[in-house]
Structure 1
Amino acid sequence: MRMRYENRRTLVTLTGTVRLRLKIRRCETQDCARLHKPYRPEAEGALALPQHEFGLDVLALVGALRPREHRSVPEIHALLRRRGVPIAERTNLLDRYDEVLATQLADPRHLRGQLAGQDRIILALDGLQPDVGHAVLGVLRDCLSGTVLLARSLLSGAADDLTALLRDAVAAAGLPVAGVISDGQHSIRKAVALVLPGVPHQLCHFHFRREAALPIFEADRHAKQELKQRVRGVRPIERSVEGRTDPEAQVVRGYAAAVRSAITDDGRAPRDAAGLRLKRRLEKTAGSLERVAAKGGRRARFRGSSS
């Protein structure tokens, strides 16, 4: 399949706001049943429901707080805000959680109607646990249609619980399973081998790249720490021009802000190497300072903070 266009999407998760760049692919094989139909990245469904602005981790936490701990809506909102999740007074989070769990009780005929026209499904299995000690929200999706086949609150992510979840989802779909996509969790591998022996089981591309890049990411993080140790003295320089409004003071504040921004830009693994990004940004700042110095600008006092 070829990548034809990109979509951008913003999600609010428990760890902060995430901006996704989704590469949409289409099959170009003329005799393919899905000719020219868009195929979205399988990792997207592991992060959020279709057309929803909150991540599945937020949804799982809301489900743990409402049905299990019997928290009120204001209490849930207050807890989410304390964790840095921006949320409006009126939200459909509880409704969306109920919709997901309703797939557990839905009539299989309705589900098969959504899958009409397909001759197979590709399962994506994800388990989300918002916090240690909370129940796991197990979600099974069809990658071809994006349909949520089954969602269930599990006591744990053990192989026995996942085996039952898989069997029920396959039975509800009523179509042959062409493949399974998941992360590398051992309990998931064991459950898939028991329920779907011989069916290809592939690691999710995002998880695979993240794990493969982990040694490089750790080395890059160490390099960034070393670079940050060498970038010192920004705050005293800012204080030295505090209260001044002349052009030179504005230039100094601009360079100081550029250095501070570069230091705090952590990127996002596995695609972004924060250490390399910091090095490039500092080199650009240093190059700009060199050009200023060549034109007769004052650089001597700022040199120690960007080397």
Structure 2
Amino acid sequence: MARSLLSATAKDLEPLLREVAGAVGVPVLGVVSDGQTSIRRAVERALPGVPHQLCQFHFLREAAHPVFEADRHAKVRLKAEVRGVRPIERALEGQDDTAAEVARGYCAAVRSAITDDGRPPLAASGLRLKARLEAVADSLDRVREKGAARRRSRICAN
């Protein structure tokens, strides 16, 4: 049953809930909703004694809210630490050697990592950002180690 209502106040929803309960032909044993206050009040008035609960998604979102906020705060701090990408990209403008191309690739990887947002509560974008930035840092460390090893081998060969 659906009906267009002028508003979604408890006063407007109450008669609709009574009508639905009478039309279904079976007892209403429970109501599941997004937890909107007007819906909760309308259920209390129209269906006294019938339990009401949040749908699983909304329940999970509310339960995960403190974790989401901590993750969001961590993401903000991580982003602040890698804000220096643009000056590096500017310094590389006009350069077309291999090192400049590699550096631009790393800048693009960092940019991509900081612009990816997840959908709470199922995605912790701060944790994902941390993992992606660690992957970029690990790759840079490997490149640095290879460069140092090459320099050592050239020194030893001379």
Tell me the TM-score normalised to structure 1 length: 0.45
CA distance in 2 between partners of 1:152 and 1:280 (Å): 48
1:216 is matched with 67
Query: Is 1:171 aligned to residue 22 of structure 2?
Result: yes
Greater Cα offset, 185-194 or 259-268? 185-194
* Partner Cα distance (1:242, 1:172) in 2: 70
Greater C-alpha Rg: 2
Please give the alpha-carbon distance, in whole angstroms, between the structure 2 residues aligned to 1:209 and 1:165: 28
Partner of residue 188 from structure 1, selected from 1, 23, 39: 39
Amino acid at match of 1:254: G
CA distances 1:173-231 after superposition (whole Å, capped 9, x unpaired):
33332321112222211211222233332211111111122222222212211111111
Structure with a larger share of its residues in helix: 2
Aligned to 2:76, the other structure's residue is in SS state helix
Residues in 1 aligned to 2:67 and 2:3: alpha-carbon distance in whole angstroms: 36
Percent identical pairs in the alignment equals: 68
Structure 2's unaligned 5+ residue stretches are 149-158
- What amino acid maps onto 2:103 in structure 1? V
Cα offset, 1:293, TM superposition? 0.8
Of the three residues 238, 256, 260, the one matched with 2:89 is 238
How has the CA–CA distance of structure 1 residues 240 and 170 changed in structure 2, closer, same or farther, with 3 Å as cutoff? same
Scaled by the length of structure 2, what TM-score is found?
Answer: 0.82
Which among 127, 146, 149 is matched to residue 295 of structure 1? Answer: 146
* Aligned: 1:284 with 2:149: no
Give the 3-state SS of the residue equivalent to 1:181 in structure 2: strand
Q: Secondary structure at the match of 1:202?
A: strand
Q: Which has the higher strand share?
A: 1
Q: Spell out the pairing of 1:1-307 with structure 2 (5 A cutoff).
A: 150-296=1-147
Cα deviation for residue 271 of structure 1 reads 1.5
Unaligned runs of 5+ in 1: 1-149, 298-307
Aligned-residue offset at 1:286: 0.4
2:152 is aligned to none
